[in-house]
Amino acid sequence: MTVQCCQCKKIRVANKWKRATVASNEAVSHSYCPACLARCLTEIRRESSVRRVVPADLPA
């Protein structure tokens, strides 16, 4: 199973994120690489602060 970042399309290889092409016959699971996850969390936090809602299940 290949894990691909759904934002920047990098794939995870041995815990490193690389820009690479996924073979069309490979099963792909979509996730976030650390960079995109951080950016995404920042956006979620900004949204939540506007709405005054604190997501309970986000890492600090």
Give contact residues for Zn ion (rule: CB under 5 A). 5, 7-8, 33, 36
Least distance in angstroms from the C-beta of 4 to Zn ion: 9
Query: Which residue number, 2 or 7, has a Cβ lying nearer to Zn ion?
Result: 7
Least distance in angstroms from the C-beta of 5 to Zn ion: 3
Query: Which residue number, 10 or 49, has a Cβ lying nearer to Zn ion?
Result: 10
Q: Which residues of 11-43 are buried (b: 16+ CB within 10 A; e: fewer)?
A: bbeeeebeeeeeeeeeeeeeebbeebeeeeeee
Q: What one-character DSSP code corresponds to residue 56?
A: T
